[in-house]
Chain A
Amino acid sequence: MKDHEITLNLTSAVNSLSDVNKLINELESIEEFFLKMKAKSSLSQVDVPKSSIALEELAKLNSLNLMKSEDREKLNLFLHFIRTKSPTIHLSFGSSPDDKFLTKVTDWFRAQVNPYLLISIGLQPTIGAGFKIRTTNKYYDFSLRKYLTANKQTLVETLGTIVKQ
């Protein structure tokens, strides 16, 4: 699959490389199920793999039917493309973000930067508040620590004014 052939979209639930890997594994399980199904005489003799909500949402968003081999193939190629070609950024927070927060951040990046962007989340308690971004080439610090350090002179001046009073 080439760049200009990409017609599918990612859901907000799929925001990291591990999510992509999980979906690929799920798809492989489903594929394996259908291969087994061809070898067996009846469906009752094999366990139908349960697809995750993320995979179902992804298929639904892209109007794909996981029961159809060509759709699975299409989705599998798309996920492999995402795994190898998508840009990844690393975000660090002072505490673990919940899904709601992560969805909003992912949506912003997909809407403003790149629709296939993947996010890697890290935890740095020393940040306190705010966040840090690390891309392939650069590093951005939007943490409260950095903000306080950058405004250290203001803090000193303010304290000096208070002491003089």
Chain B
Amino acid sequence: MNIISIIIILVVVVAILAYFIYRINFSKTKVKKINRRTDPYGQSVEEVVNSVFDANFREELKNRGKLHFEKILNDNAMFLKQDLELTSSEIHDYLKQEINKNLESEFKNYKDTIEDAKKLAIDSIKKTQTVLEDQRKSLTAEIVKQFDAEKKVLINNFQDNMAEIINHYLLKAVGGHINLNDQLEFIIADLEANKAVIVEDINEGS
């Protein structure tokens, strides 16, 4: 039973009450009119009726009606209460279900959104990590390459300088003490080894 049914029942009850009130008032007015118009018989009937339906009787009827009306009202109120409670419970359950459903849907969307965002963030972090790793490898390789090149240059310079120092020392220590006549054999050997080139060069020059 929904709210509309309850409203309809309330309207019906109010209409019944209005009808009874109207009937009672209408009866009183009608009786007065009849008393005014009728003849003495009529007046006697009226008096009889007034004696039968005297104030006590009317009061009793009124009380009975009131009690009956109260009973009907109480019964209807009880039904109405039950219906209201049931309806309220159903509405509560319905609202609870709807809210739960909406909340679940929203939570699911929220969860999906968070998952997507998380996935995007993880992908972005992975890409960044990959790029950083590549850059680190590239930088490491470049540094190693530069370091090796620098090391090679330093070693070569050191070797050149060392060889130059040794050569200089040898020339200084030995060079001035070697007699040219002692070198003659080697000089002639060098000349013999390069004789063809020297001859060709001199003949072309002359």
Binding site for A on B (CB under 8 A): 159-160, 162-163, 166-167, 170-172, 174-176, 178, 180-181, 183-184, 186-188, 190-192, 194-195, 197-199, 201-206
How many A residues, CB 8 Å from partner?
41
- Interface of chain A residues 72 through 89 with chain B (CB within 8 A): 85-87, 89
Determine whether the beta carbon of B163 is less than 8 Å from that of A142. Answer: no
Binary flags per residue of A100-126, CB closer than 8 Å to B gives 1, else 0: 110011001100111001000000011
Determine whether the beta carbon of A142 is less than 8 Å from that of B190. Answer: yes
Interface hit among A12-20, A27-35, A129-137: A129-137
Minimum distance in angstroms from B195 CB to a CB of chain A: 6
Report chain A residues within 8 Å CB of B184. Answer: 101, 104-105
Determine whether the beta carbon of B174 is less than 8 Å from that of A129. Answer: yes
**A145, B176: Cα distance in complex, Å:** 13
Q: 6 closest A-B pairs (Cβ-Cβ)?
A: A128-B175, A136-B205, A128-B171, A87-B206, A152-B163, A148-B167
Determine whether the beta carbon of B167 is less than 8 Å from that of A156. Answer: no
Report chain B residues within 8 Å CB of A159. Answer: 162
Determine whether the beta carbon of B163 is less than 8 Å from that of A114. Answer: no
Report chain A residues within 8 Å CB of B166. Answer: 148, 155
- Interface of chain A residues 29 through 86 with chain B (CB within 8 A): 85-86
Q: With A97-B180, A130-B183 given, is the CB distance from A149 to B198 under 8 Å? A: no
Report chain A residues within 8 Å CB of B190. Answer: 130-131, 142
